[in-house]
Homo-oligomer: A and B are copies of this chain.
Amino acid sequence: MPGISTAVYQEIQLFYARQMRLLDEGDTMAWAQTFEPDGVFDATALPEPVRGRDVIESSARKAWEAMAADGIQRRHWLGMLDAQEQDDGTLVARTYALVFTTPRGGGSALQVSTTCEDVLARAGGALRVRYRTVHRDGQPGGREA
């Protein structure tokens, strides 16, 4: 199986830790900056991919505000990272992703189990998401072409 350097593997782990905490704590502006300006967020449960950093930001903010209004804290766990460097310098990173939620004063619960596949590229040294595909377990495989 194709390799990945130790340093880059760890860099992706750190990238995800920081990226998902930004989202979970409501800093959707900073979170959107972790995507390329024309990055794509493709959750296969949605009718179509969300295209562009601005739309990714407003869509994430709406979702976050709805949960905050309900007093719900969300936590994204990405793990079981597989990653490969591509010939064009991008990275393909595949993870399992769980979402846990906790209502104010209540108990924590597993919300969904998903798989995430990212194409990551560098800009000024930092990783950014070019294309993210999230598929929720238990749902049909993908959109019709």
**A interface residues, Cβ below 8 angstroms from B:** 1, 4, 6-7, 9-11, 13-14, 16-18, 20-21, 73, 75-83, 94, 96, 98, 100, 102-113, 126, 137-139
A122 to chain B: closest CB distance in Å? 14
Is B137 within 8 A of A108, CB to CB? yes
Offer 17 A-B interface pairs, CB within 8 angstroms, sorted by A: A4-B14, A6-B10, A9-B10, A9-B13, A17-B81, A17-B94, A20-B80, A21-B80, A77-B79, A79-B79, A100-B110, A102-B138, A104-B138, A106-B138, A108-B110, A108-B111, A108-B113
How many angstroms from the CA of A103 to the CA of B137 in the assembled complex?
A: 8
Is A21 within 8 A of B82, CB to CB? yes
